[in-house]
A and B are shown apart, each in its own frame.
Chain A
Amino acid sequence: MSTPAHPFASRPTAGRKFENATFWFFRVATYIILLAGLAVFGDIILKGSSTVFGAFKSTEHFPYVTNTFLSEAPETLYVFEDGGVKREMGDTEYRAYRESRIASALVAGEPAPQFKSESYVYSAGGIWPCIVGTVLLVVGSMAIALTLGVASAIFLSEYARDGAFVRFVRLAILNLAGVPSIVFGLFGFGMFVIFFDWNVSLLAGWFTLAFMVLPVVITASEEALKAVPQGFREGSLALGATKWQTIRSNVLPYALPGILTSSILGIARVAGETAPIMFTAAYVVRDKLPWDVEKVSDFFFQGVMALPYHIYVVSSKIPQNEYTSRVQYGTAFVFLGIVALIALASILLRNNLRGRYKW
């Protein structure tokens, strides 16, 4: 070892090696996460996008093009050979095709053709009812969760005096946040489906999902309310405003962006959870669309199809092969897209509010 030229020359000591090793550990850990994210999203986007973008068909009416994957209900896929050609058809198309083939064979006096087909449920058609169902579930449950959550956050942060009761409520909220979603599903099933006799319905799903995200909404709303400077409240009260006038015009507007930020996370969770809805709101398959009801009240008491549950069904109840992967990945892709869209809308709304109520 030569003598260093100056006192600040770097030396390869053990401490230095350790520094380097830690640096690389943190760096590699970050890259692994990035890689995992890319793999998941890349896989779904690569395989799923072809389903969505390959499903465009022209129509006779405006807008002259439709995406059958996004606009049709799921059908059973039939795979069969006819005249030496391998064909894949959805249920409706297959029946019509078979009828016409048998009829034409009859006219020509030939023996009726034999169709030896394999069928895969839900693998043809689209996922329109699931999209509708998911959007309905998200909108309804977030409306309930925000109403209840913001109200109780206002009570806890603005009205309630610190005491045993408030501490108990906070503890309950914290505990609720840690409950697994399947437990919420069972709770919703017992409470709303059985006890309230709502059956498997939108309403039961809304409340179950709302209770699941309530802790998040309450905690975050409380934080957002607490972040509003005390001076706004005091200034308003000192001018003779009542408590509610103060909250409404000088606290809540400035807390809204924060509340929305938290509810964006809530939306992703509500849209994505399968467990809470599988006993309370989701149907494996349903032909009717939700607005196809006789009375308005029926709307709330009908089950719906939903994207996360549909993903669960198509990936666990049917075999995975070249014919079914289309719907499996396509559904996941659309699902990601919809969550992203809803989140984007909330982010835009939040940014708009932030610009309007800046302090």
Chain B
Amino acid sequence: METPADTPASRTFKVSSVPSEDDRADTLIEIKDFDFYYGTKQALFDINLKLDDKRVTAFIGPSGCGKSTLLRCLNRMNDLIDGTRITRGGVKVRGVDIYGRDVDSIELRKRVGMVFQKSNPFPKSIYENIVYGLRIQGVKSKARLDEVVEKSLRGAALWDEVKDRLHESGLSLSGGQQQRLCIARTIAVEPEVILMDEPCSALDPIATAKVEELIHELKKQFTIIIVTHSMQQAARCSDKTAFFYMGKLIEYADTRTIFMNPANAQTEAYVSGRFG
């Protein structure tokens, strides 16, 4: 197993994704000329980015570089924060402007799910956590709910660990299990995109490895965008990597290129551990 210990000595990267023929993916999300403000403070400057369908894209960069902000713009979670505004540009998912007038952010979030930095299972049973999304959509059939619970837990590689205690509280699980429960909860509503905001930052190396394995599995079905502080993690599990600095997109390329042969000097300095 890879040790993700982030020591300067271990800053060598094993890049998982080998470019091949089927690497030509369709664009699912297109961010164009995107400017974003928190109140009067500009957080994102002129972002242009095309994210591939059924691929893992990693956002990396030092704290406060705007990577989480951009992620939260993709399912309009930033709408919840007072004083946020977009002054220019937009985000298109499957060609539809998600900030358009006729877009319902509720419908958007059903398609673009999110896993948070701090695992946040609801203080309900494991079962109820998983079916939450379906219940609010009005699904009542017990058989259907049971089926989704098993499928989602299997999908999140959690089924074997919890199948005998589905009705215990989700909070009784360990940190890593809680995070996988949150992933299971997200895939239960069958989104197209899963946004992950530093999903492993509170997990130990073993739990992190499990979540990373899971990401590999999930990309067969879902488009995954992951924000991470760990460059090893980006290297291990993403196909493409975007490097942000001070609210600007500095470089976006195949993960291999970013880590082995970055075009930009700042990117090189960051991935080699000279700052950030």
A residues near B (Cβ < 8 Å) are: 161-162, 229, 231-242, 245, 249-250, 254, 357-359
Closest to B109 in A: A240
- Distance between Cα atoms of A10 and B157 in the complex (Å): 65
CB-based A-B contact count at 8 angstroms: 67
Cβ 8 A contact of A239, one of B80, B82, B189:
B189
- Distance between Cα atoms of A231 and B137 in the complex (Å): 20
Cβ B133 vs Cβ A239 within 8 A: yes
Cβ A235 vs Cβ B136 within 8 A: no
Cβ B116 vs Cβ A234 within 8 A: yes
Cβ A240 vs Cβ B123 within 8 A: no
Cβ A239 vs Cβ B136 within 8 A: yes
Cβ 8 A contact of B122, one of A161, A236, A237:
A236
Cβ B123 vs Cβ A241 within 8 A: no
Closest to A163 in B: B82
B238 within 8 A of partner (CB) = no
Cβ A231 vs Cβ B133 within 8 A: no
- B residues 56-92 touching A (CB-CB < 8 Å): 75, 77, 80, 82
Cβ B109 vs Cβ A250 within 8 A: no
- B residues 151-195 touching A (CB-CB < 8 Å): 169, 171, 182, 185-186, 189
Known contacts A238-B75, A239-B186, A357-B123, A231 near B109 by CB under 8 Å: no
What chain A residues lie within 8 Å of B122 (beta carbons)?
A: 232, 235-236, 250
Cβ A359 vs Cβ B189 within 8 A: no
Closest to B79 in A: A237
- CB-defined interface of B122-137 with A at 8 Å, one 1/0 digit per residue? 1100000000110011
Cβ 8 A contact of B182, one of A162, A233, A235, A249:
A235
Apart from A239-B186, A241-B133, 13 more pairs, CB < 8 Å: A162-B82, A231-B120, A232-B122, A234-B77, A234-B80, A238-B109, A239-B109, A240-B107, A240-B109, A245-B136, A249-B132, A250-B122, A254-B123
- Distance between Cα atoms of A77 and B149 in the complex (Å): 73
- B residues 90-149 touching A (CB-CB < 8 Å): 106-107, 109-110, 113-114, 116, 118, 120-123, 132-133, 136-137
B255 to chain A, nearest CB (A): 26
The 4 closest A-B pairs by CB, nearest first: A231-B120, A240-B110, A359-B123, A239-B133
What chain A residues lie within 8 Å of B189 (beta carbons)?
A: 239-240
Closest to A229 in B: B120
Q: Is the interface of A mostly helix, strand, loop or mixed?
A: helix
Cβ B82 vs Cβ A161 within 8 A: yes
What chain A residues lie within 8 Å of B75 (beta carbons)?
A: 238
B16 to chain A, nearest CB (A): 27
Cβ B171 vs Cβ A359 within 8 A: yes
Cβ 8 A contact of A237, one of B80, B185, B186:
B80
What chain B residues lie within 8 Å of A235 (beta carbons)?
A: 116, 120-122, 182, 185
What chain A residues lie within 8 Å of B182 (beta carbons)?
A: 235
Cβ B136 vs Cβ A231 within 8 A: no
What chain A residues lie within 8 Å of B133 (beta carbons)?
A: 239-241
- Distance between Cα atoms of A161 and B80 in the complex (Å): 10
What chain A residues lie within 8 Å of B169 (beta carbons)?
A: 358
Most B CB contacts (10 A, CB to CB) among A237, A245, A254, A359 go to A237
- Distance between Cα atoms of A359 and B110 in the complex (Å): 25
- Distance between Cα atoms of A241 and B105 in the complex (Å): 10
What chain A residues lie within 8 Å of B123 (beta carbons)?
A: 232, 254, 357-359
- Distance between Cα atoms of A233 and B80 in the complex (Å): 10
- Distance between Cα atoms of A161 and B118 in the complex (Å): 25
What chain A residues lie within 8 Å of B110 (beta carbons)?
A: 239-240
- Distance between Cα atoms of A359 and B129 in the complex (Å): 13
- Distance between Cα atoms of A249 and B137 in the complex (Å): 13
Cβ A237 vs Cβ B116 within 8 A: no
What chain A residues lie within 8 Å of B185 (beta carbons)?
A: 235, 239
B174 to chain A, nearest CB (A): 17
A64 to chain B, nearest CB (A): 48
A181 to chain B, nearest CB (A): 36
- Distance between Cα atoms of A242 and B132 in the complex (Å): 12
- Distance between Cα atoms of A340 and B80 in the complex (Å): 42
What chain A residues lie within 8 Å of B114 (beta carbons)?
A: 234, 238
- Distance between Cα atoms of A235 and B137 in the complex (Å): 15
- Distance between Cα atoms of A238 and B122 in the complex (Å): 13
What chain B residues lie within 8 Å of A358 (beta carbons)?
A: 123, 169
B198 to chain A, nearest CB (A): 13
Cβ B132 vs Cβ A239 within 8 A: yes
25 CB-based A-B contacts, threshold 8 Å: A231-B116, A231-B120, A232-B120, A232-B122, A234-B77, A235-B116, A235-B122, A235-B185, A236-B122, A237-B80, A238-B109, A238-B186, A239-B109, A239-B110, A239-B113, A239-B136, A239-B189, A240-B133, A241-B106, A241-B133, A242-B106, A249-B132, A249-B136, A254-B123, A359-B171
Known contacts A161-B82, A359-B171, A240 near B120 by CB under 8 Å: no
- Distance between Cα atoms of A249 and B114 in the complex (Å): 19
What chain B residues lie within 8 Å of A359 (beta carbons)?
A: 123, 171
What chain A residues lie within 8 Å of B186 (beta carbons)?
A: 238-239
Most B CB contacts (10 A, CB to CB) among A233, A237, A238, A241 go to A238
- Distance between Cα atoms of A237 and B120 in the complex (Å): 12
